[in-house]
Amino acid sequence: MIMTSEQQLKLQAFLDGELPEKEARDAAALVARDAEAADLVAELRNTRRALAGFEPGLKVPESRECYWSRIERLIQRLEPAPATAPSVSFFGRLRRFLVPTGAVAALVIVAAVAVLELGRPGVLARPETEMTSPDSAAFTYQDDANGTTLVWLSYPAESGFAEKAVH
Amino acid sequence: MAETDHSSAEDATLVRAARAGDTGAFEELVARHRDKIYARAYSMVRNEDEALDLSQEAWVKGWHRLKQFQGESSFSTWMTRIVINLCLDELRKQKRQRTDSIEEMDEESGGVERQMPVVTVNPTERLERGELRQRIDRAMDLLSYEHRTVLVLHEFEEMEYKEIARTMGCSIGTVMSRLFYARRKLAARLADLKAEI
Amino acid sequence: MRFKKPLSVCPGWLAALCFLMTFTGIAAPAKDLKFQALLVWATDAEKSPDHNHKPVDAEVLKKLRELPLRWKNYFEVRREHFIVPRGGAEKVTLSDKCKIGVTDVDGRHVEVSLIGKGEPVLKRIQPLSRGETLVLGGNAPDSTGWLVVLKRVE
């Protein structure tokens, strides 16, 4: 018997335990009576078994220390800068030129804000997209020449969000 | 001393400590699960350097999102989802650069695999584990990213069809056909490889 | 030396404050951020089934044509202009099921959140200077697409 595409996918779903009980019984019956169906299921099963032992063998090709050190650097780079560090020496010098009054302290605060405003690299080292659902994903296309960023969401069209959003 | 404490602590304890800013605790979590996270990235992108970068980026993202981890799944599962999404993002970006078309992202490959003769002999039967891994590795390289990703999510991540559909932003029907084509292609490749001996 | 006298006459903190205000620009009142948000339907169909939808204007069309999108036509579903106060946030409704929120993070970065069917879908933080555009999009049924085109006007 020549199987249809639908039958083939059903046999696969049967193998993967994705069929409802009634359809699973029908699929099992087809496998029992049809050699081609049985061969196909056997092939799919063999592939599945072959893959089962594949991934666990992969290991990070770097030492623990080396691997961690880059992560640590990236984390530190994205951490907010300490609020006071850059301004201390600047105001040490500034103080010598200004009349020392009690208000200098207030000035330090104002200046610290200003210096940080001008000098810090930004909230993030690079833009970040965060999907609310861990199962969703987005990817980004950057057109620097036109100052346009496109963020494309893998929000399923079937969800009805888009349809309802537009209509 | 502190390291010894970390190494004997459970993941949940380490997550709590890391959330409070303890990078030592987070380093221990990285050490424990780095192979799995790297392996998942490698399975998807098929490039050692990219897999390293993406897995490390995933850890950085994980660190910044620790507050969002509520413990509904294990920490390693949570981290795995982060690296999967990063890889999907990267692969789509690469595919976009190649095809320059969003429409093509969801394009199905042809139906040739449906007509392929079934591989009746298990081509991996008598292979040593290392040899088998090598052969699968080569066969996986030849799959398109959509096919490989569905395989990875189903076989390694043990996701159900509907979870894969959600993750990849496609229909369950598409997942089923991609998985079918991927398995059939892989079987054919493995059979070919055997014939080369 | 020339400046010694005025500095000693004025309260020191005031002089220094003036100096800092001049050179850092922090004295200028922080300007609000102005945005234009468009909800767009992307399709190969020649006409939108809704006669209220008009083709997007030439400027938006040009932007979209330069992106790797291959739909033939883009229809404007809704257009909103809104202001985000410095350090503040604003939400706008683009359809019954689609809202966006924009927060000024630090004057350079904005946090844009997309809310679909009342649920947060995406949050993105990025720099968005005057004249720059952020496009959020996704596939819609029947090989169409939806786009939110957010432009910082000022």
pLDDT value at residue B83 = 95
Bigger pLDDT: A127 vs B112: A127
How far apart CA B32 and CA B9 sit, in angstroms, is 11
In a domain, A149, yes or no: no
Q: What is the DSSP letter of A53?
A: T
In this structure, the answer to whether residues C125 and C109 fall within a common structural domain is yes
Contacts of C69 in chain B (CB under 8 A): 102
Query: In this predicted complex, what is the ipTM?
Result: 0.80
Residues A77 and A109 in one domain: yes
Whether C14 and C59 share a structural domain? no
Question: Are A40 and A77 members of one domain?
Answer: no
**Residue C68: which of B96, B106, B169 has the nearest Cβ?**
B96
| Per-residue CA distances from C57 to B19, C34, C53, C62, C105 (Å) | 48, 19, 12, 9, 30
The residue with greater pLDDT, B125 or B64, is B64
**DSSP assigned state of C113:** E
C17-34 pLDDT, tens digit each: 545 544 444 445 568 899
Pair of tokens at residue C92: 């706008």
Whole-number mean pLDDT of chain C?
80
Rg of the Cα trace of chain A? Answer: 31
pLDDT of residue B36: 93
Q: How many domains does chain C have?
A: 2
Tens of pLDDT, residues C36-69: 999 999 888 888 878 888 999 999 998 888 887 7
User: Any idea what DSSP says for residue B169?
Assistant: T
Min Cα–Cα distance to chain A from B175, Å: 10
**Same domain, yes or no: C66 and C19:** no
Predicted confidence band of residue B72 (pLDDT cuts 50, 70, 90)? confident
- Determine the structural domain holding residue C41 and report its residue range: 33-152
User: Would the CB atoms of C94 and A104 count as touching at under 8 Å?
Assistant: no
Q: Which residues 90-119 of chain C have a CB within 8 Å of chain A?
A: 94-98, 105-109, 114, 116-117, 119
Element (H, E) at C125: strand C119-127
pLDDT digits (tens, 9 = 90+) for B98-110: 443 333 333 343 3
Domains present along chain B, CATH in parentheses? 2-99 (1.10.1740.10), 112-195 (1.10.10.10)
Mark whether C81 and C16 lie in a shared domain.
no
Same domain, C73 and C117: yes
pLDDT grade, residue C151 (50/70/90)?
very high
Calpha distance A126→A78 (Å, rounded): 9
Give a three-class secondary structure readout of C60-90: HHHHHHCCCCCCCEEEEEEEEEEEECCCCEE
Tell me how many domains chain A contains.
2
Which structural domain range is residue A82 located in? Answer: 64-119
Compare A36 and C26 and report the one with higher pLDDT.
Answer: A36
Q: Does the pLDDT of residue C122 top 90, yes or no?
A: no
Q: List pLDDT tens digits, range A55-92.
A: 656 889 989 999 999 999 988 877 654 444 344 445 44
Nearest CA in chain C to B105: C139
Q: Give the mean pLDDT of chain B.
A: 80
Lowest-confidence pick of A33-37, A78-82, B16-20, B109-113: B109-113
pLDDT digits (tens, 9 = 90+) for A68-77: 999 999 888 7
Residue C58 and residue C110 in one domain:
yes
Over the stretch B129-170, which tens digit does the pLDDT of each residue have?
677 777 788 888 888 888 899 999 999 889 999 999 988 888
pLDDT bucket at A9, cuts 50 / 70 / 90: very high
